């Protein structure tokens, strides 16, 4: 987690969009990006498209190319933002629908004048007339009325506006430096400002949560499938979760929660046993020895991984392991300043030197990797970016690493 979530720029002045461990954008640049995308969609995508999937690929790519001129975003998140663009188009059409339908009561001449004023600049006259005809059809009115009835059932609206759950959670974590329980996140996200009447639906939900906490205890809130929100408010949609934000599915959160629990259990076991793993200079494999043994002078690193030994064992002289060249291959990252120290487990994400990362090509000397686990808390990144300085800062996301410092997992 970054120490601050304000404006972050790279050396070219582009704003760097940061993502949390749920692959959700956080920080001020992500808010500005949302605004830019909304404007670009309204200006460049005609309303005639009834479905985002019917919008030509070229139009979508053009918007993405404009975005990349101002922001630094990993290509991995392109599909995420294409989905968001579809939402922005849907929102724009919905606003236009409402403005068109309220003109029904006007006289014909006044109505035509108002309709002409509503026409977007990027829509032709024929496209606009076709859209208005569709909105005024009996079929559309019936569908709109049905969806309005569905929305009326949502009795617990949040009060965080464009901030979103992900950015709210990141700000709360900065203050406490601890993981935020999603029940607490939901409560903060539905809190009314001073002087405003509390929403009746939210008050009823809070009472349910309080009763459930008394019946089930605090432990029930530790797992998303059975926590207080899931038990008392139910899932917002099948597979989705309340109090998490856009794009976070139940499966994704459960997997990450399970993975984090395994890491915590392993750390607790090592702490209780108070054992240390050390590497001998002359050996081809790691050996577990006591720090108090006579051979402690031969110890060069604290790690639990296997490091191959070569006659001239410098990172540059190591032969390239062909298995590492494949995308999706599990690997280990060696420190670029502490010899033979394994600092993280990772997966090869990209081997093409022409592919860009943070606005620059990866290059022939490095690979793009997904960092899975950090083994050394203060290990420095091979290439730093913005406020991302250490390996632990990029766990769950991407970075680049020198080819000669990548070992294939056994």
Q: What is the mean pLDDT of residues 249-262?
A: 61
More confident site: 16 or 385: 16
154-157: Cβ within 8 A, 24+ apart: 155/199, 155/200, 155/201, 155/202, 155/204, 155/205, 156/190, 156/199, 156/201, 156/202, 156/205, 156/233, 157/190, 157/199, 157/201, 157/202
Range scoring the smallest mean pLDDT among 109-118, 144-153, 216-225? 216-225
Q: What is the mean pLDDT of residues 299-313?
A: 40
Q: Residue 180: which pLDDT band, with cuts at 50, 70 and 90? A: confident
Dihedral angle sign, alpha carbons of residues 330, 336, 339, 343 = negative
Q: Cα dist. 138→22, 54, 101, 134 in Å?
A: 42, 23, 12, 9
Range scoring the smallest mean pLDDT among 43-57, 302-316, 366-380, 383-397? 302-316
Q: What is the pLDDT of residue 108?
A: 87
Whether 334 and 376 have beta carbons less than 8 Å apart is answered as no
For the chain, percent of residues with pLDDT exceeding 70:
74
pLDDT mean across residues, the chain: 77
* Secondary structure of residue 94 in the 3-state scheme: helix
For the chain, percent of residues with pLDDT exceeding 90:
14
Whether 331 and 339 have beta carbons less than 8 Å apart is answered as no
Q: Residue 67: which pLDDT band, with cuts at 50, 70 and 90? A: very high
Q: What is the mean pLDDT of residues 372-397?
A: 85
39-51 pLDDT, tens digit each: 999 999 988 888 8
Q: What is the pLDDT of residue 310?
A: 39
Number of other CB atoms surrounding residue 278 within 10 Å: 20
**Block residue for tokens 């005809």:** 133
| The pLDDT of residue 290 is above 70 | no
Whether 112 and 132 have beta carbons less than 8 Å apart is answered as no
Token output for 209: 């949560």
Q: What is the pLDDT of residue 62?
A: 93
What phi-psi label fits residue 273: left (phi over 0), alpha (psi between -120 and 50 degrees) or beta? Answer: alpha
| The pLDDT of residue 285 is above 50 | no
């Amino acid at each position: 987690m970054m120490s601050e979530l304000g404006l972050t720029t790279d050396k070219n002045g582009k704003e760097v969009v940061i993502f949390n461990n749920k692959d959700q954008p956080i920080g001020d640049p992500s808010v500005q990006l949302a605004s830019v995308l909304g404007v670009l969609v309204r200006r460049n995508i005609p309303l005639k498209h009834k479905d985002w999937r019917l919008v030509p690929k070229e139009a979508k790519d053009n918007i993405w190319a404009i975005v990349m001129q101002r922001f630094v975003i990993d290509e991995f998140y392109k599909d995420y933002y294409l989905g968001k663009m579809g939402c922005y188009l849907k929102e724009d059409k919905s606003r236009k629908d409402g403005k068109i339908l309220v003109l029904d009561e006007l006289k014909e001449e006044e109505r035509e004048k108002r309709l002409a004023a509503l026409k977007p600049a990027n829509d032709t006259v024929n496209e606009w007339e076709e859209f208005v005809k569709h909105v005024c059809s009996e079929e559309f009115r019936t569908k709109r009325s049905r969806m309005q009835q569905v929305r009326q059932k949502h009795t617990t609206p949040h009060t965080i506006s464009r901030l979103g759950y992900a950015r709210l959670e990141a700000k709360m974590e900065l203050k406490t430096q601890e993981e935020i329980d999603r029940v607490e996140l939901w409560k903060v996200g539905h809190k009314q400002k001073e002087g405003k009447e509390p929403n009746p639906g939210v008050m009823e939900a809070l009472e349910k949560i309080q009763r459930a906490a008394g019946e089930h205890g605090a432990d029930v809130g530790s797992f998303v499938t059975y926590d207080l929100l899931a038990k008392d408010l139910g899932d917002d949609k099948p597979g989705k979760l309340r109090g998490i934000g856009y794009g976070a599915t139940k499966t994704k959160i459960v997997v990450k929660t399970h993975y984090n629990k395994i890491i915590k259990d392993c750390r607790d076991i090592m702490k209780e046993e108070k054992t240390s793993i050390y590497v001998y200079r002359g050996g081809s494999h790691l050996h577990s020895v006591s720090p108090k043994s006579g051979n402690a002078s031969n110890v060069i690193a604290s790690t639990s991984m296997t490091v191959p030994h070569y006659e001239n064992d410098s990172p540059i002289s190591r032969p390239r392991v062909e298995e590492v060249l494949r995308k999706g291959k599990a690997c280990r990252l060696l420190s670029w300043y502490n010899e033979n120290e394994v600092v993280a487990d990772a997966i090869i994400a990209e081997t093409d030197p022409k592919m860009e990362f943070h606005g620059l090509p990866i290059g022939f000397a490095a690979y793009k990797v997904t960092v899975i686990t950090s083994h050394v808390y203060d290990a420095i990144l091979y290439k730093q970016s913005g406020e991302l300085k250490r390996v632990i800062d990029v766990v769950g996301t991407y970075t680049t690493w020198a080819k000669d410092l990548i070992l294939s997992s056994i």
